[in-house]
Structure 1
Amino acid sequence: MRKLVYGMNVSLDGFVAAPGDDLGWSAPSDELFRFWLDQELAIGLFLYGRGLWENMSSYWPTGDQQPGATPAQVEFARNWRDTPKVVFSSTIDKVDWNARVVAGDAVEEIARLKAEDGEPMRVGGATLAGAAMRAGLVDEYEIVTHPVLLGGGKPFYTAVDSWVNLNLVETRTFPGGALLTRYEVRR
């Protein structure tokens, strides 16, 4: 059975994007970028909602060719292109870069993929991750909290039907005051 990880940069008040999908507040330090790269290198399958797919696919297919790209950014772009991806959307028909589209029931497909053997999967996009959370499919949360209050936007957390007990397995502080808290779901 594969492990499902949900992790993103989050504001102190719990948002992954400011109003208008502004992500400018979450620009990572080199150390934090390297952390996210190391996490991504351990993932065997990315699961994206439409919004995050559009954000990632607008830059990372050629991120290694951008002027001034750091060695970590070059590695991230190559890994992003090479890692299989599933995009959950009813409005996108075609995707590139080692990806496929699923227009049907996201929870059913994530549960099917999770039941397979293989490397961990990462779910990305607050709406898609929220559906996986409500279905009890998320095994681990990687939350990098940034020292900023956004006051609104797209929330990281979704309403769940019952308590989800977690075990804290790691904390780490990054330059600029960002704080990683990593939790495993207690089953």
Structure 2
Amino acid sequence: MRKLIYGMNLTLDGFIAAPGDDISWGGPRNEELFQWWLDHERASGVTLYGRKLWEAMSSHWPTGDQQPGASAAEIEFARNWRDTPKVVFSSTLDKVDWNARLVTGDAIAEITRLRSEDGGPMTIGGATLAGAAMRAGLIDEYAVVAHPVLVGSGTPFFAALDSWVNLNLLETRTFPGGVVLSRYETRR
């Protein structure tokens, strides 16, 4: 059975985007943190995307290694992004590319099927998709990468839940600029 990991950058008050899908709160480039995300993505056997995150990622990373001034880590991230199998969940998109396939039906049924397969861990991104997986009890690990900023409202990292989810702390790590990673596993 595959492990399903939900991780994203978020504000200290729990938002992955401020109103208007604004993610500029992330501040200046943090190479150590970017390297952590690269290593995290390299370990993924399959990446699951909701539509909004897919559109953001697919607008940059297919050619991210060709951008002027791209760092070695950015070049590797772009290559890894293109090579990693991806599943995009959307009822509004007609097609996807870049080693991805589109699922327009029941996301929870497909995530459950994928999770039951053998293989490396899967990562999931996008608040709506991950929220549905959280409510269905499918998330095995959370990677909370909290930035030292408060935005007051926006798109929350955590979805409203029907019941508590108990977690075990796996790791904490502080990055330059006061960014703190906390990794938790779901207690089953």
Q: Distance in 2 between matches of 1:24 and 1:82?
A: 27
Q: List aligned pairs for 1:123-134, cutoff 5 A.
A: 123-134=124-135
Q: Distance in 2 between matches of 1:55 and 1:176?
A: 24
Percent sequence identity is: 73
Aligned to 1:10: 10
Q: Distance in 2 between matches of 1:20 and 1:77?
A: 26
- TM-score when scaled to structure 2? 0.98
Following TM superposition, by how much is the alpha carbon of 1:160 offset from its aligned partner in structure 2, in angstroms? 1.1
Following TM superposition, by how much is the alpha carbon of 1:143 offset from its aligned partner in structure 2, in angstroms? 0.5
Q: Distance in 2 between matches of 1:81 and 1:18?
A: 28
Q: Distance in 1 between matches of 2:165 and 2:48?
A: 22
Following TM superposition, by how much is the alpha carbon of 1:161 offset from its aligned partner in structure 2, in angstroms? 1.2
* Aligned partner letter, 1:88: F
Q: Distance in 1 between matches of 2:185 and 2:64?
A: 31
Q: List aligned pairs for 1:128-143, cutoff 5 A.
A: 128-143=129-144
User: What does the per-residue CA deviation read over 1:33-52, in whole Å, with 9 as the maximum and x for residues that have no partner?
Assistant: 00000000000000000000
Aligned to 2:19: 19
After TM superposition, the runs of 4+ consecutive aligned structure 1 residues lying more than 4 A away are: none
Q: Distance in 1 between matches of 2:158 and 2:122?
A: 19
Query: How many residues align structurally?
Result: 187
| Corresponding position: 1:103 with 2:104 | yes
Structure 2: gaps of 5 or more residues:
none
Structure 1: gaps of 5 or more residues:
none
| Corresponding position: 1:40 with 2:41 | yes
- TM-score when scaled to structure 1? 0.99
Following TM superposition, by how much is the alpha carbon of 1:127 offset from its aligned partner in structure 2, in angstroms? 0.4
25-34 or 132-141, which moves further after superposition? 25-34
Aligned to 1:56: 57
Q: Distance in 2 between matches of 1:130 and 1:21?
A: 17
Aligned to 1:171: 172
* Aligned partner letter, 1:69: A
Following TM superposition, by how much is the alpha carbon of 1:141 offset from its aligned partner in structure 2, in angstroms? 0.1
Provide the secondary structure at the position in 1 that maps to 2:169.
strand
* Aligned partner letter, 1:31: E
Provide the secondary structure at the position in 2 that maps to 1:91.
coil
Provide the secondary structure at the position in 2 that maps to 1:81.
helix
Q: Distance in 1 between matches of 2:49 and 2:18?
A: 19
Provide the secondary structure at the position in 2 that maps to 1:20.
helix
